[in-house]
Amino acid sequence: MTRKASAEACANIALIKYWGKRDAERHLPCNGSISLALADLRTVTTVAIDPSLTADTLALDGHPASAAELGRLGKVLRPLRERAGETACVRVESVNYFPTAAGLASSAAGFAALALAAAAAYDLTLDEPELSRLARIGSGSACRSVPGGWAEWHAGTDPAGLDSFATRLAPPDHWDLRVMVGLVATGPKAVGSGAGMAGTVATSPFYAGWLQGVAEDLPVARAAILARDFDTLGEAAERSCLRMHGSMLGAVPPLLYWQPATIAVMQAVWQWRQEGLPCFFTIDAGPNVKVFCPAAVAADVERRMKFIPGVTGVRASGPGQGVALSKAHLF
Amino acid sequence: MTRKASAEACANIALIKYWGKRDAERHLPCNGSISLALADLRTVTTVAIDPSLTADTLALDGHPASAAELGRLGKVLRPLRERAGETACVRVESVNYFPTAAGLASSAAGFAALALAAAAAYDLTLDEPELSRLARIGSGSACRSVPGGWAEWHAGTDPAGLDSFATRLAPPDHWDLRVMVGLVATGPKAVGSGAGMAGTVATSPFYAGWLQGVAEDLPVARAAILARDFDTLGEAAERSCLRMHGSMLGAVPPLLYWQPATIAVMQAVWQWRQEGLPCFFTIDAGPNVKVFCPAAVAADVERRMKFIPGVTGVRASGPGQGVALSKAHLF
């Protein structure tokens, strides 16, 4: 007989960006970050403990996972197995309800859901910081999908990462902003964000300046979210985004995740704002542009984005919840 | 009777970029730079001393100059008048043989030609460092158009700028590279390079890193030019370009000179190089992309560039000479 659990988590979009690790194995960041979870970019993950298996299995959107992905799965399962005193293998399936590997941080939702589903399958009860740290071991930004809503990942200083997890700044319904994810290209990235961070930290003369800027922007963004100050949050978010991408341009070899349409969306957002439409953008380690706006103008922003040459689609989302158990299993 | 002289100068494209002034009035740079003059992007300037005038006049491409442009003219003429003991006003006309104010550094060629033509009209003989410093007073990068060919602008440390001028690294025929200027947009810039530099120096946390990078790249580029080492020069030039633009992205407000087609050309160049075509790019404070390549593949590069969506034209050029007197007057 197998024990089985499923969990659902949302992707999250960083407003103050995470860029650079002080410990690549544990995904310990050099800087703190602040994010919003997105209700409509969800992952469901089911974990079943199956003593008949001779190795863990992992299927992502119905396809068998790579050896690297299985390795990350093992890193998350290991502490749970130790704690539960279990050795049996697991079958894991995960389904993303949005395009994967295109700067949309599907791994964040996936590892947050995995952490909770696996803990539940092993019949372990972890508190939120424990779950957040566990998700972080799979994918750094996944720790922010655990509390969901408006969340802050505290960089921490502990070499083992005990103080490096995310907490909730405000619940999803604190501020009904909408995020329009402008899809520019959905193919796999040329350089993964892990390698991109490592290259930036090791070779970009801008990295010290990046850290200095984040330290200034974190309290600004935190206060702006709590005060629902759209303009201040937007300025801080665009600053953080452009500095992250600027720091990459300084690396050897340089990192440029943008496509022509990425520039087109950025310029359009600046133009719309001049015209009085409240909106701001952020861009992760990929070509897609995420545009934030108040719910009242979301339809207008979405319509305008679809007219930009090179934008192949727009996915709208509101603020999302933290990770939660699901009664609907994938298998 | 009027005394009249004309001079011709080439624009120049920096391979190691000039970005940031330590003295805005004297155009004294924070960092040294290295450039190539472009034979086919020329300016001809005629200066006539005319005692009947009550004020200096300046026509640029047949249009009366703005008050700001007249102010810059006056700054260049002042030291010559003092030295010549003259007070008479001048009539100046300047014609650019390339699109102006689109990141193509028309002011560099213009002020180099002005410095020589005005000196000659006042019957003064200035040596090359004197001419280079004089041109610099009009427009910083103009000092590099005085020696022409492969030139280096020494940042200098003198508060009065006596050691801040350009010298020739190698004559134009040292290395027959071609430059393809890919025109993306020829309208005036949103933020002039002077304001862009000031904003970057004052607000970008990347500026210290920028200076550190240039200090490393200057000797690399200098040696690569002397050794005709295309790959090393290309790497250094792209690194300098991307770091200049990266430093701007860190400014408050951020500076983004790129258009969608700017990205398209950069990506095309990287793709062509992977295919074995030797080429590299650089981009100034504007959207145009300049692609460098050996003369043997210039036609191929030019043809490919014209096919890139958003590229409205390509201007090809070889290495250009320094400023020289011209017998053909504009009036």
**pLDDT tens digits in sequence order for chain B, 331 residues long:** 569 999 999 999 999 999 999 999 999 999 999 999 999 999 999 999 999 999 999 999 999 999 999 999 999 999 999 999 999 999 999 998 875 444 466 789 999 999 999 999 999 999 999 999 999 999 999 999 999 999 999 999 999 999 999 999 999 999 999 999 999 875 555 788 899 999 999 999 999 999 999 999 999 999 999 999 999 999 999 999 999 999 999 999 999 999 999 999 999 999 999 999 999 999 999 999 999 999 999 999 999 999 999 999 898 999 999 999 999 999 9
For residues A138 and A274, membership in a common domain is answered with no
For residues A158 and A24, membership in a common domain is answered with yes
Instruction: Report if residue B326 sits inside a domain.
Output: no
CA–chain centroid gap for B7, Å, is 17
Which of B239, B248, B260 has its CB closest to that of A252?
B239
Tokens of A54: 């001779």
Which of B208, B209, B242 has its CB closest to that of A254?
B242
pLDDT computed for residue A186 by the predictor:
55
Instruction: Report if residue A166 sits inside a domain.
Output: yes
Find the mean pLDDT for residues A65-78: 96
Q: Using 50, 70 and 90 to split pLDDT, how confident is the model at A101?
A: very low
Residue B197's closest CA among B65, B31, B80, B61? B31
> For residues A21 and A27, is the Cβ–Cβ distance under 8 A?
yes
> For residues B326 and B9, is the Cβ–Cβ distance under 8 A?
no
For residues B61 and B125, membership in a common domain is answered with yes
Please answer yes or no on whether A263 and B266 come within 8 Å at the CB atom: no
pLDDT computed for residue B150 by the predictor:
98
Residue A12's closest CA among A114, A110, A95, A117? A110
Instruction: Report if residue A328 sits inside a domain.
Output: no
For residues B166 and B224, membership in a common domain is answered with no
Cβ neighbourhood burial of A245 (10 Å; 0-12, 13-18, 19+):
buried
Task: For B124-135, give one letter per residue: b (16+ CB within 10 A) or e.
Answer: bebeebbbbbbb
pLDDT computed for residue A190 by the predictor:
72
A7-36 pLDDT, tens per residue? 999 999 999 999 999 999 999 999 999 999
> For residues A281 and A266, is the Cβ–Cβ distance under 8 A?
yes
B206 contacts on A by Cβ (under 8 Å) = 205-206, 209-210, 243, 246-247, 250
For residues B258 and B128, membership in a common domain is answered with no
Residue B255's closest CA among A258, A256, A242? A242
> What's the domain count of chain B?
2
Q: Any idea what the CATH number is for the domain that residue B295 is in?
A: 3.30.70.890
Closest-CA residue of chain B to A212 = B205
Q: Any idea what the CATH number is for the domain that residue B118 is in?
A: 3.30.230.10
Domain span at residue B293 reads 177-317
Please answer yes or no on whether A260 and B256 come within 8 Å at the CB atom: no
For residues B165 and B302, membership in a common domain is answered with no
Instruction: Report if residue B205 sits inside a domain.
Output: yes
Residue A254 touches partner B, C-beta closer than 8 Å: yes
pLDDT computed for residue B2 by the predictor:
61
C-alpha distance from A239 to closest chain B C-alpha (Å): 7
Please answer yes or no on whether A256 and B246 come within 8 Å at the CB atom: no
pLDDT computed for residue A187 by the predictor:
52
Boundary of a domain, candidates B124, B155, B172: B172
Q: Is the pLDDT of residue A102 over 50?
A: no
Cβ-Cβ pairs closer than 8 A, A with B, add up to 99
Residue A253: cis peptide before it, omega within 30 degrees of 0: yes
Boundary of a domain, candidates B140, B156, B172: B172
Instruction: Report if residue A323 sits inside a domain.
Output: no
For residues B270 and B295, membership in a common domain is answered with yes
In whole angstroms, give the CA distance from residue A305 to residue A312.
10
Residue B213's closest CA among B31, B28, B12? B31
Exposure of B298 in the CB half-sphere (CA atoms within 13 A) = 16
Tell me, what amino acid is at B206?
A: F
Which of A250, A256, A264 has its CB closest to that of B213?
A250
Which of A208, A254, A264 has its CB closest to that of B238?
A254
Residue B253: cis peptide before it, omega within 30 degrees of 0: yes
List C-alpha distances in Å: A17 to A98, A210, A322.
Answer: 21, 10, 19
Please answer yes or no on whether A247 and B310 come within 8 Å at the CB atom: no
Mutate which: B249, B269, B270, vs A, most A CBs within 10 A: B249
A267 contacts on B by Cβ (under 8 Å) = 256, 259
Instruction: Report if residue A324 sits inside a domain.
Output: no
A147-179 pLDDT, tens per residue? 999 999 999 999 999 999 999 999 999 999 999
Residue A19's closest CA among A291, A323, A282, A318? A282
Which of A246, A262, A263 has its CB closest to that of B206?
A246
Mutate which: B203, B232, B235, B243, vs A, most A CBs within 10 A: B243
- Average pLDDT over chain A reads 94
Q: Is the pLDDT of residue A313 over 70?
A: yes
Residue B89's closest CA among B75, B67, B74, B71? B74
B310 contacts on A by Cβ (under 8 Å) = 260
Q: Using 50, 70 and 90 to split pLDDT, how confident is the model at A104?
A: low
For residues A13 and A132, membership in a common domain is answered with yes
DSSP H helices, A141-259, are 142-145, 193-203, 207-226, 230-249
Residues sharing a CB contact under 8 Å with residue A247, sequence separation 6 or more, in sequence order: A19, A200, A204, A206, A207, A209, A210, B206, B246, B250
> For residues A150 and A281, is the Cβ–Cβ distance under 8 A?
no
A210-242 pLDDT, tens per residue? 999 999 999 999 999 999 999 999 999 999 999
Mutate which: A216, A240, A249, A274, vs B, most B CBs within 10 A: A249
Boundary of a domain, candidates A130, A153, A172: A172
Residue B180 sits at the vertex; the CA angle it makes with A255 and B218, to the nearest 5 degrees, is 55
Contacting B residues, span 174-213, partner chain A, CB-CB under 8 Å:
204-210, 212-213
A209 contacts on B by Cβ (under 8 Å) = 204-209, 250
pLDDT computed for residue B189 by the predictor:
58
Instruction: Report if residue A139 sits inside a domain.
Output: yes
* DSSP character at residue B65: P
Exposure of A215 in the CB half-sphere (CA atoms within 13 A) = 8
Residue B194's closest CA among B291, B69, B62, B36? B69
Closest-CA residue of chain B to A238 = B254
For residues B164 and B185, membership in a common domain is answered with no
For residues A248 and A306, membership in a common domain is answered with yes
In whole angstroms, give the CA distance from residue B70 to residue A43.
63
Is beta strand A166-170 parallel, antiparallel or unpaired with respect to A150-153?
A: antiparallel
C-alpha distance from A324 to closest chain B C-alpha (Å): 38
For residues B136 and B186, membership in a common domain is answered with no
Instruction: Report if residue B330 sits inside a domain.
Output: no
For chain A, what percent of residues have pLDDT higher than 90?
Answer: 90
B218 contacts on A by Cβ (under 8 Å) = none
Greater confidence (A190 vs B114) lies with: B114
What ipTM was predicted for this assembly? 0.93
* DSSP character at residue A102: S
pLDDT computed for residue A98 by the predictor:
72
For residues A14 and A128, membership in a common domain is answered with yes
Beta bridge partners of B16: B34
